Chains A and B, each alone.
Chain A
Amino acid sequence: MIIQLKNVNYTYNPGTPFEKKALDDVNLEVNEGEFIGLIGHTGSGKSTLVQHLNGLMKPTSGEIIIDGKSLSDKDTKMKEIRQKVGLVFQYPEHQLFEETIYKDIAFGPKNLGLSDEEVDERVRNAMELVGLDFETLKERSPFELSGGQKRRVAIAGVVAMKPKVLVLDEPTAGLDPRGRDDILDEIRNLYEKENITIILVSHSMEDIARLVNRIFVMHKSKVAMTGTTREVFSKADQLESMGLGIPQITKFMRRFKSLGHDVKDDVLTIEEAKEEILKYLRSNRDA
Chain B
Amino acid sequence: MLKDITIGQYFPGTSIIHKLDPRVKIVIVAMFIASLFFVTSFWPYILVVAFIGTIISVAKLPLKFIIKGLKPLMFIILITFAINLFLTKGEVLFEIGPLTITKEGLRQSVFMALRLVFLITGTSLLTLTTSPIALTDGIERLLSPFKKIGLPAHELAMMMTIALRFIPTLLEETDKIMKAQMARGADFESGNILSRARNLVPLLVPLFINAFRRADELATAMEARCYRGGEGRTRLNELKFRSRDYVVLFSMVVFFGFIISTRYLVI
Contact = CB atoms under 8 A, between A and B. Distances in A.
B185 A112 contact: yes
B185 A108 contact: yes
A218 interface: no
Contacts of A86: 183
A161 interface: yes
A94 B206 contact: yes
Task: Specify which of A89, A111, A143 lies most central, judged by the most chain B CB atoms within 10 Å of its CB.
Answer: A111
Contacts of A13: 3
Task: Specify which of B64, B184, B186 lies most central, judged by the most chain A CB atoms within 10 Å of its CB.
Answer: B184
B177 interface: yes
Nearest to A105: B184
A17 B205 CA distance: 34
Contact of A108 (B11, B12, B184, B209): B184
B10 to A, nearest CB: 11
A107 B183 contact: no
Nearest to A55: B182
Nearest to A163: B183
A94 B183 contact: no
Interface string A74-85: 000001001100
Contact of A89 (B180, B186, B205): B180
B206 A96 contact: yes
A97 B209 CA distance: 9
A56 interface: yes
A87 interface: yes
B217 to A, nearest CB: 13
Nearest to B184: A108
A15 B180 CA distance: 27
Contacts of B41: none
Contacts of A158: 183-184
A56 B61 CA distance: 31
A54 to B, nearest CB: 6
B197 interface: no
A97 B206 contact: yes
A82 B12 contact: no
Given A94-B210, A97-B201, A56 B183 contact: yes
A111 B185 CA distance: 5
Contacts, number: 61
B177 A82 contact: no
A61 interface: no
A92 B180 contact: yes
Chief secondary structure at chain B's binding surface = helix
A102 to B, nearest CB: 15
Contacts of B201: 97
A143 B212 CA distance: 14
B176 interface: yes
Contacts of B11: 17
Contacts of B209: 94, 143
B15 to A, nearest CB: 13
B185 A95 contact: no
B183 A54 contact: yes
B203 to A, nearest CB: 8
B177 A17 contact: no
A51 B179 contact: yes
A17 B6 CA distance: 13
Nearest to B173: A94
Contacts of B179: 51, 56, 89
A51 B186 CA distance: 16
A87 B3 contact: no
B230 interface: no
A83 B182 CA distance: 10
Interface string A1-20: 00000000000010111000
B72 interface: no
Contacts of B183: 54, 56, 82, 86-87, 89, 158
Interface in B1-55: 3, 11-12
A157 B3 CA distance: 28
A95 B3 contact: no
B257 interface: no
Contacts of A79: 185, 187
B180 A107 contact: no
A107 B210 contact: no
15 contacts: A17-B12, A82-B185, A87-B183, A94-B177, A94-B180, A94-B210, A95-B180, A97-B201, A97-B205, A107-B184, A111-B184, A111-B187, A157-B184, A158-B183, A161-B185
Interface of A: 13, 15-17, 51, 54, 56, 79, 82-83, 86-87, 89, 92, 94-97, 107-108, 111-112, 143, 157-158, 161
Q: Which 4 residue pairs spanning A and B have beta carbons closest together?
A: A111-B185, A97-B205, A108-B184, A95-B180
Given A15-B62, A82-B184, A161-B185, 9 more contacts: A13-B3, A56-B179, A79-B187, A87-B180, A87-B183, A95-B180, A95-B202, A107-B181, A111-B185
